[in-house]
Each structure stands twice: as structure tokens, then as C-alpha cells.
Amino acid sequence: MENKMEWWKQTSIYQIYPWSFQDSNGDGIGDLPGILTRLDQIRDLGVETIWFSPFYKSPGEDFGYDISDYTSIDPRFGTMDDCDKLIREIHKRKMKVVLDMVMNHTSDKHPWFLESKSSKENPKRDFYIWHKGEKKVPNNWISMVGTSGWNYDETTDESYYSNFLSFQPDLNYRNPKVKKSMFGVLDFWLNKGVDGFRLDIFNSIYKDEGFRDNPSSFRYFPTPDNHDEAFFQKKQYNLNLPESFQFAKEVRKHISKYKQKPFLIGEVSGSDKILKSFLGEKADGLNLVFQFELIHFDYKAQFFKDLLEKNEREFPAPYTPTYVLGNHDQRRFIDRLGGDVRKAKVLSAFQFLARGIPVVYYGDEIGRKEGRIPNFFGKDPIAKMNRFVPLFLCNLLGIYINRDNCRLPMLWDTTEQAGFSKGKPWLPVGQFQTEDTVVYQKTKNDSLWNHYRSLFHLRKTSSVLKEGNIKTKLSHHADVLCFERTLGKIVVIVYLNFGEKEIKETVSKGSKLLYSFGGAEVLGDKLQLTGHSGAVFEIRLKK
């Protein structure tokens, strides 16, 4: 059957955090030549699209999310030649490349900002959001990290706005020259052949022109999928503005003329209604948005059933849901599961077999665990701000502060520094066992790495899993989630057991077992699902 669906609706995404993936020159920081040496392994895992966290020139105060030059490579990571080669080699291996694009803000060391802050008359003054009135803090806007978003600058006796950290001044998209410059940046990379962009805090692009005060709210802590009410404020005027929804369409239109058919995946947060506004009423906005429900899952079949049904209700085709289990800002998912690899297999199977795009954070395929670095010793700027908050309190309140802990180096093998570097890693590799490494897990059929490999390949080779519709099915057992994917005359049926107890399900006639894990077995017409196991069947319908 000819496959007509756009490629990005069928892909799987693997996120690489360049700082921590593979160091090639012994300086303890991962780099592009290092990544190049691992490309075959990434391909063998079955990855289709690689998303790179930023490797552009940057002071590195927020580890690359503070860019000082959008069109050059930070020397820590290599050169533009390395980058060109990386793009070429990824394409050679039939994978796609997505770059992280931080459009909302630059570093305060970006030449645009240095010019902008030098004088009120500077032609770049309006590249950023300066408040022109008398007041140093013109309104009550709180940034996404809980501080005032206004930053007083002595040079011109005015304040500039930053929706994240103070060294990340927000660009002013009401200035057409800013838009033009940013579109120029996108063109630069699209002309190099990249296949898409992950758009950092895209919900923050526009701010209210009239600088109106935000209304108050009872809610203090933000969650990964809700920043729009936090720190006792409804972020009505500094997040999710209608102009940002409109801008999503403009960016989509701008990039869609490129022959590689690139796509945009937005980091936006909020209600489904807000996410949909970014995707556009006619699915003409951002191609995809990250959906973070799996960051705070309740490990129960009912939770996943509800999630599937909700996504089909709110984001039916042509919308494509995304399933994100982790990223460089969140506690590692294996730790959220108490280290239980059996559960990690069930969860990742859900992520790969549902209708939508699985987004995998490097190291999750081997169950890479969190570090235990206290905020006090954190390199992460958010940890530095909260230096005196003890880890146990963060855990108690369920808040995640020191992001160093989810950014530890990849565990490749049992040599020194786990094969990550010949030098002293920028973050400690931490304690690990032989079984935690890629090299070991590759040799064990029932390892998490091999499970991920099977899932990546299953999706890759099944048009039903890529394109088919989805329907949840009733199981007689509360712990079992069952759903069907259908395309034409082929049906794929998935059973996942979220419980400890062994459960038997009757298998429909003519079913062919495609994959099973965790000890699930077919005996005659019965599927025996041991605790935390799963199975995938295919049926070819006659008519």
C-alpha cells in the first residue's frame, strides 16, 4: 500500500543532549565528532529522527539555551565542518535531523543585545522588550522561573523583559526586523538540509503590547504541562498570546517551501485548547507540540486508556499526538518508576504503539538513572538560584530543580567514565553497573535496550503502527490495557499488563504474534500475560 502520510507524522524522535552524549577530545564535554562515532549505533537502535539540544555558539550559562550566535557552532562542540558532516552522515543513514531553535530569547552576550542595551537610540534597541516608562518594574509579570521578568539595566536606566532567566532577554517580535532576522536563521539551517526545528518556549514569543498586569491565581507550582497558572498568577499577558498562535502559522508557512518538507515541534504548555491553538484550527500551525502527560503518569491501565481516548477526542487525525517520557528538564522516567525495568518496558511499549510520535530522551533506552547532585553543587542555573533548597524538600513537594541530574553522561561501556570521555566529564558519570551500559545490554535479549530496539523497528516496519487509527478495547481485567490499530485490512492488537498478577486473555483466531516482552506467552488460543508484560498481534481481515 502506498504510504501518503507526511513523514513527520510517522517518525520517532530521539533527543541528544550534546553536552553528555559522547566526548571525542577529552575535554569532558560531548561534541559533534563524538556523536558522529555513535551514529551507526543510533541507526541500529532504529531511530528515525534525531533532535539535538542546542550546539550553537553560547556562553553556556543555560547550557546552550542562551545563544550568542545562531549560525555558528560553539567551539566546545566542534566546527561548522563537523556540523555539515553530521547532517550529511545522518542523512546517509536514512535518518532526519531536527535542531533546537530558541526564538524567544538570546543570550545577553548576543551582539544584538549588546547593541540594544548600549543606548536608547541604538538601531537594535527595539530588538528586545524595553519598558520605556519611569517605572523600573512596570507590571507584575512573573517569569517562568518564578522571579520578576523585569531586569533593570543601569546603562540606560530602563528594564528589559525576560520570560526565563535574566541573562536570556526576550526578543521583540512586534519589530518586523526581528522576525526577518529569525526567518533568516531558519533559512540558513534549512538550506543546510535540516529537517525541522524544536521550538523552545514558543508559548512565550509574544507579550501584551499594553503591558497589562496579570490576574492573580491560587496556584503556585507550575507543572511540565501547565505554566500558564503559576507563582500565584494567571499568565494571561505574558504567555500563550493569540499573536503567538498566529506566528506559529507564519513560521509553518515560511518553512513549508523547502523541499525536504521540514516540520516544527513546539515546546508549549497549557490546556489542550491552548495546544490546539498552536497547532491551528486547520492543522496549519506548528506541526506537532510536545505533550507532557507521560511526565506525571499514574502507572495504571486506566490512566493510559483515558489518555488515549482523550487524545483521540481532542487531537483526532490529521492532528498527531506526541508521547514524551522524558527530556533534559525532567526527572528520568526510570526513577519515576522506582527503577523498575519491567514497568519501563510497559510504558515505552505504550509510547511506541499508540497513534502518535514517541519522543525518547538519550539514555532512557538503557534505563539511565538520575544523579543525586544537591542544588548547592548544581551547574544548572535553576539549581544555582535555589542553592539552599535541599533535594529531599524538592522530592517531597514533587518539584524538579537541579536539571544536572537528568543530564549525566551516557553509559556506553565499562571503561573509565563509561566510554563517554577520556577526560573528566563536565558532570559526573556517577555509579553504575555493567548491566547499565549499552555494550552489555546489546548482548542481552531481554534488556531494555533490545526492547527499545524492537519497538523502534516494529514501528518502522509497520504502516499500521505508523498510520493506522486507534481504538481502545475493553479487557475484563482492570490492569490490562488493550487497544487496536487498524489500517485497511490489517489490525494490530496490543495488550499491556500494568499489574503484578498473571492474566489470561483470549486471542482472536488468525492472530499472528508480532512481539512480546516481559514473559508474555501464547498457549493455544490464550495469551498468558505475566505481571508487567505485553504482546502485539496482527490480524489480516478477509474482507
Residues 175, 179, 185, 191, CA torsion sign: negative
d(CA 200, CA 100) in angstroms, rounded, equals 7
The site map against ligand NOJ for 286-325 (x = CB under 6 A) is ----------------------------------------
- Residue 362 contacts ligand NOJ per CB under 6 A: no
69 included as an active-site residue: no
Which residue among the candidates 23, 200, 312, 380 is catalytic per the annotation? 200
CB of 170 to ligand NOJ, least distance (A): 11
CA-closest candidate to residue 535, choices 440, 442, 458: 458
Tell which one of 86, 95, 201, 383 touches ligand NOJ (CB under 6 A).
201
- Residue 65 contacts ligand NOJ per CB under 6 A: yes
267 included as an active-site residue: yes
- Kindly identify the residues of this chain, within the stretch 439-468, that bind ligand NOJ according to CB under 6 A: none
User: Cell numbers of 77, please?
Assistant: 562542540
- Residue 228 contacts ligand NOJ per CB under 6 A: no
Tell which one of 74, 200, 293, 479 touches ligand NOJ (CB under 6 A).
200
Strand pairing report for 263-266 and 288-289:
parallel
d(CA 245, CA 242) in angstroms, rounded, equals 5
Which residue among the candidates 82, 108, 267, 370 is catalytic per the annotation? 267
CB of 248 to ligand NOJ, least distance (A): 17
Cα 303 to chain centroid distance, Å, stands at 21
- Kindly identify the residues of this chain, within the stretch 170-199, that bind ligand NOJ according to CB under 6 A: none
User: Cell numbers of 228, please?
Assistant: 500558564
The site map against ligand NOJ for 102-121 (x = CB under 6 A) is x-------------------
- Kindly identify the residues of this chain, within the stretch 264-283, that bind ligand NOJ according to CB under 6 A: 267
User: Cell numbers of 417, please?
Assistant: 567514565
- Kindly identify the residues of this chain, within the stretch 479-498, that bind ligand NOJ according to CB under 6 A: none
The H-or-E segment that residue 50 falls in is strand 49-52
102 vs 289, beta carbon nearer ligand NOJ:
102
d(CA 227, CA 202) in angstroms, rounded, equals 12
- DSSP tag of 226: B
- Residue 62 contacts ligand NOJ per CB under 6 A: yes
- Residue 329 contacts ligand NOJ per CB under 6 A: yes
162-174 CB burial, b ≥16 within 10 A, e <16: bbbbbbbbbbbbe
The string of DSSP letters for 260-272 reads T--EEEE---S-H
CB of 295 to ligand NOJ, least distance (A): 12
400 vs 432, beta carbon nearer ligand NOJ:
400
Number of residues binding to ligand NOJ, judged by CB under 6 A: 9
Give, in order, the Cα–Cα distances in Å from 143 to each of 101, 207, 266. Answer: 20, 12, 19
267 vs 479, beta carbon nearer ligand NOJ:
267
User: Cell numbers of 154, please?
Assistant: 543601569
Tell which one of 124, 328, 343, 485 touches ligand NOJ (CB under 6 A).
328
CA-closest candidate to residue 438, choices 464, 412, 419: 412
Q: Could you list the active site residues? A: 200, 267
Contact set with ligand NOJ (CB under 6 A): 62, 65, 102, 164, 200-201, 267, 328-329
